Structure 1
């Protein structure tokens, strides 16, 4: 069948043989833009344009979506202006389409006095249809939804785009991976708003659209947040906000809880904490509402308990790292399980994008060893580097959050892993991308280099570990066996064994023989997901930090637990051994760092100074002097350097924006990498010498 693209046609579907529409008699256009064949109307904008399902004849009839913009304007001046705006907005949409949860822009063009925009087709079901099939969502599912979509809203808001029509129909759960994709925004909507403003037409949907947008036609980032709250209300209760709006305007917003158990489909209740989040999302007063997606993510992470399992749709994570060859995951301010995972490693880092270059005198291990208590000298930095000596350089390439970064053991290469399902290898001398590694089918939560720099290991939400050839960028082997996402990976010092930790449905650690790819043994004992794993320097002991708030030490010869270290009030997000193996550092969601003697199990120090989750801890060792400093990264958007002997802060690095999900340190001790979220997904700071 072939669709008539006259937006006023009441029966646009025609047999393939027709040259003119059987209904409106308009001439049919077999191929839009010379390649896109419209076959079905997906939505109608009431004569202002339509959205069509189409086939790309240049790509074996691959499905795509064609959006038509048909402004009814008099004169060439207004039409020329509309075309100019269309091109500007199409360019903006092209930028947004770099995000994996926003459809990719394929083309835009003018034809027969209409403007067309072609986007990627998302194979999946929108949330309204999903609700109609399965009934009301529960609290966990609403939290997962929020934590999956809020990072997408942050992405578009940072780029100056307001969606203006968020509702269940405009959110699709992608069939391939279960992630939520935000659709139906961009060029046509912005143009519609521009052209129709004089007519008093408001873009949005009654009930989902906030007061300021309905009254004044003005929309802000917080306007999208109201619409997201209304969407959650709909999916929780089964009551359409549009119906309530017709009956009582915005009167339902203040008393939304009364509808929780009134639905005929699986009435549900919500916790006080989630109720308060929804209250703030649904505030009519724009000043009392959440002002940014980050604010909502923070409340979801800090005020609500961790999700019991890794959601299939999330992760704007909080991650941590542990030794030069380890990677582990920590919960991004839920930042989606990403809300639940934190990656940890000293040479490895997670997601925000940041690398800080600095020089300092760390501390000798003789000074730091817990067996020496009376002769520890006061440690001072080698020299004070003024804050303005850090020159940031963004590394452009990833299209979504970077969840893990790691240095090669020779310090020449940086590896970064992202929600966009890719790993990138960077030449640190030139800051240029070397390889893009593709193969995982879901977010990548952890990466680590082998000691000989020949192999990179990656752990993913797709439940697999992949081993890559660093020189060629080719996939060497895939390790399968975990029943949930792989949150952390770490190499033994001899490079023969890989340890991997997994999320809540699995709760185990697996040890792999890297020569054969075979499983050596599975370590069981944690009662929740394992966020971080780290080998001791002699590779005889493995430390694991878990969402069960405990650290386990394992004998790698027997596979038995040696002891459990307890005392944190929050999830253990990162663990790291000091280079001499006599001290173990842990970072926790309770904002505290603890230093332990792994031999005796005794607590050495408690370090306080961060005002949010400590997502990553790592030891910095100077390669020439053997000195050591402790480095920590936090959701409070700072990296702190500590004297591990005195437990005093040496310096705080203010990053300006974005949570720090992990820290990593180069082997020579001259470079710190910080990972997480922010305006620049991956960035480096280098000291001016």
Structure 2
């Protein structure tokens, strides 16, 4: 089907063969901008423009969203001004789209006196539909929502943009990684407000929109925060603020707690602390309201106890995202940017994408697998499998972080676990006791990756703030900060001799940097990838560096000279993780295309393609060679499983079900006896002890 782009057309869908609209008789435009074919109306702005689902014929009919701006302006002067504003705001939206939870801007153009904006299609379900399907949220989920969206608001507010229309319909839970994506803001909204202000039009939705925005048409960061509070109220109670507004205007705001008890169901439990946060978000007077997203984050992370007053919750399958494999902003910077990034370290710290809670029952593993002696003179294919006894994984949660854990890593001596979180902290844990040793603070944004030095004396951390920090593990003091990347740090890795640190960065930077640890000086910059580098890892002998990129390639670099040795190609989608086997000859890669590939780095030849995951493979890791005779290759995926593989045969050995959510990060202890997992939900950090 083909859509008519006349914004006044009552029946815009037409058969492909039509040249003119069967309804309004307007000439049909098969391709907008020469490449985007409109196929369905997603929303209608009442004659002022429409939003269409379209297919990009230059990208194998990949879905995208086309927003039409159709100002009814008299004369060329106002129209010229509208076009100028449109381009200015589209440029601003392009900057905002660098954030992984904002749709990517693909194009903007003028055609047939209309203005068009093309954005990435987010495959997911908005929170209104999610709430209607699965029911209301509990306190844990509301806190997770706030901590997921507040950094997005901080990001746009720092760039002078106010969303103006935050509500459940404009928040989508992305299927690919479970992250919340903020949609429906930018050029068309700002322009609509600019052009129609004299007519008294207010951008926003009744019940969700702050008083000052409704009365004066003026919006501030605090206005968005009111809308976020109203959204939380809706999801918590199931009561739409818009319905209350029709009956009593803003009268419901001061007495919102009365709606926590609805006829026919039990009273909803909200802690005093969260209640106070919602009170301040919903203040009618802007001066009494939170003024910035940071203020709300501070209260959520410092005033609230570690969920002691919140009953345990297991997320239902309808709450977590379903399997999908669409190219999304995550392919640019899955930070969370997380999210799908390999958050690497020399001790197999691996980043994965999504929402994960951990099952409380142990998982049983009993199969055959290879054990690789060290060193090896031949590639891994020549090794023979041998049996392992039945192993039980006993889970143990580690409490302390207040937001998602993006990366976990073990120290080389196996005594300490490090975890990095969206709460901007790194925590160090004593593995023997499970107790927190200390918290490291200093980054100003999410921390995506951590790694320990081979001597277990130094920890490196990389953050969305574009900085790498080196920490003294004995004292917890900051040694130095390394700066030089122009985008967030997605991965760090120590060389085996502990003298060099490698860092990879996201899509705006696309570079790999090598740093001298003793001085903190930059040794060299490796350039060649054409998209972000979510994974870097040194070979066991330290002579080769492997980098996996969202550009679908793996590059092998000579560490001493910085020269490119070769490029490994063969994946259909982005590379999310790379890991060397202990033999130094075999390299494993995990990809968005749902496969794992094993490569011979000496020849560049593909050894095996491992298939079995139903969603992107966020992480791959080889068990340390000196560990017990456990499974050699492990992979983690957004299909909510960890799989164990025999790399000699390429066969799957065992699947470990992780529950009804995704995994962000896993790491394996040097002795192979402990697995650590980080994610979101009730148990955001957990270790599994393996008992033979």
TM-score (ref. length: structure 2): 0.60
| Residues 111-126 of structure 1: pairs in structure 2 closer than 5 A | 111-126=111-126
Distance 1:15 1:486 in 2: 41
Residue 395 (structure 1) aligned to one of 482, 485, 492: 485
Q: CA deviation at 1:222?
A: 2.2
The residue aligned with 1:348 is 460
Q: 1:99 to 1:317 in 2, by over 3 A?
A: same
Distance 2:508 2:649 in 1: 26
Q: 1:274 to 1:513 in 2, by over 3 A?
A: farther
Distance 2:129 2:408 in 1: 38
Q: CA deviation at 1:156?
A: 1.9
Find out whether 1:29 has 2:29 as its counterpart: yes
The residue aligned with 2:219 is 219
Q: CA deviation at 1:153?
A: 1.9
Distance 2:257 2:4 in 1: 46
The residue aligned with 1:603 is none
| Residues 38-57 of structure 1: pairs in structure 2 closer than 5 A | 38-57=38-57
The residue aligned with 1:415 is 503
The residue aligned with 2:270 is 270
Q: 29-38 vs 449-458, which deviates more?
A: 449-458
Contact 2:536 2:545 in 1 (8 A): no
Contact 1:450 1:495 in 2 (8 A): no
Q: 1:48 to 1:325 in 2, by over 3 A?
A: farther
The residue aligned with 1:430 is 524
Q: 1:77 to 1:550 in 2, by over 3 A?
A: closer
Distance 1:348 1:134 in 2: 41
The residue aligned with 2:188 is 188
Distance 2:688 2:212 in 1: 56
Match of 2:38, SS state, is strand
Match of 2:463, SS state, is coil
Contact 1:455 1:468 in 2 (8 A): no
Distance 1:274 1:493 in 2: 48
Contact 2:147 2:297 in 1 (8 A): yes
Q: 1:409 to 1:491 in 2, by over 3 A?
A: farther
Q: CA deviation at 1:68?
A: 0.5
Q: Deviations over 1:194-236 (max 9, x none)?
A: 1122222111111111112112222222221211111111111
Q: CA deviation at 1:79?
A: 1.0
Q: Unaligned stretches of 5+ in structure 1? A: 369-378, 459-463, 523-528, 562-689
Contact 1:90 1:186 in 2 (8 A): yes
Q: CA deviation at 1:169?
A: 0.9
Distance 1:328 1:507 in 2: 23
Q: CA deviation at 1:51?
A: 0.7
| Residues 165-564 of structure 1: pairs in structure 2 closer than 5 A | 165-262=165-262, 268-302=268-302, 303-305=304-306, 313=354, 317=405, 323=411, 328-333=418-423, 343=450, 345=452, 346-353=458-465, 355=467, 393-398=483-488, 402=489, 405-409=492-496, 411-416=499-504, 425-428=512-515, 429-433=523-527, 449=538, 451-453=540-542, 454=544, 466-467=578-579, 475=589
Match of 1:287, SS state, is helix
Q: 1:328 to 1:424 in 2, by over 3 A?
A: farther
Q: 1:317 to 1:560 in 2, by over 3 A?
A: closer
Contact 1:324 1:347 in 2 (8 A): no
Q: 1:241 to 1:263 in 2, by over 3 A?
A: farther
Q: CA deviation at 1:50?
A: 0.7
Q: CA deviation at 1:188?
A: 0.4
Q: 287-296 vs 319-328, which deviates more?
A: 319-328
Distance 1:531 1:112 in 2: 49
Match of 2:115, SS state, is strand
Q: 1:351 to 1:109 in 2, by over 3 A?
A: same
Distance 1:287 1:336 in 2: 34
Q: 1:77 to 1:488 in 2, by over 3 A?
A: same
Q: CA deviation at 1:407?
A: 3.0
Q: CA deviation at 1:457?
A: 11
Match of 2:250, SS state, is coil
Distance 1:341 1:304 in 2: 24
Q: 1:336 to 1:347 in 2, by over 3 A?
A: closer
| Residues 57-76 of structure 1: pairs in structure 2 closer than 5 A | 57-76=57-76
Q: 1:244 to 1:540 in 2, by over 3 A?
A: closer
Distance 2:15 2:685 in 1: 66
Distance 1:127 1:548 in 2: 23
Q: Deviations over 1:506-534 (max 9, x none)?
A: 999x9999999999999xxxxxx999979
TM-score (ref. length: structure 1): 0.60
Q: 1:293 to 1:507 in 2, by over 3 A?
A: farther
Distance 1:176 1:42 in 2: 21
Contact 2:405 2:685 in 1 (8 A): no
Distance 2:673 2:284 in 1: 56
Distance 2:73 2:120 in 1: 29
Distance 1:422 1:512 in 2: 34
Q: CA deviation at 1:180?
A: 1.8
Q: CA deviation at 1:110?
A: 0.6
Match of 1:226, SS state, is helix
Distance 2:295 2:621 in 1: 31
Distance 1:517 1:455 in 2: 24
Q: Unaligned stretches of 5+ in structure 2? A: 322-353, 356-402, 428-444, 453-457, 516-522, 549-575, 590-596, 599-609, 656-662
Q: 1:493 to 1:472 in 2, by over 3 A?
A: closer
